[in-house]
Homo-oligomer: A and B are copies of this chain.
């Protein structure tokens, strides 16, 4: 059971990350974060034909990052941030590593500053 659900999670993360690996699709999500929009609204800021935008929207929809309304013709797109919460939580598990790195950089910068102070004949009290 655990393995099956781990595989499902893995498949979903594969799909989410693949959907996010495109700047047009990320720009579409950024636009939808401001509110629902039609495919025409979404196409407007891009120098792209409707079929190209529709393809990006289908990838986002398939990854569960957007949902489409049921109103005929208009069918507005709405962002669904649940997969983004999963991405954030997945990345956060490595926080201790980047925190450690930033701490080491801080220590390094401070040691450089101390060396400079000593050279200038100043001390830190």
Partner of A79, one of B22, B82, B91, B97: B97
20 sampled A-B residue pairs with Cβ under 8 A: A10-B23, A11-B23, A13-B20, A13-B21, A13-B23, A14-B21, A17-B20, A18-B18, A79-B97, A82-B98, A82-B101, A84-B91, A84-B94, A85-B91, A85-B95, A85-B98, A87-B87, A87-B91, A88-B91, A91-B91
B residues in contact with A93, CB < 8 Å: 33
Residues of A within 8 A of B (CB): 10-11, 13-18, 20-23, 26, 29, 33, 79, 81-82, 84-85, 87-88, 90-95, 97-98, 101
Number of copies: 2
Q: Quick one: which of A18, A82, A87, A91 has the most chain B CB within 10 A?
A: A91
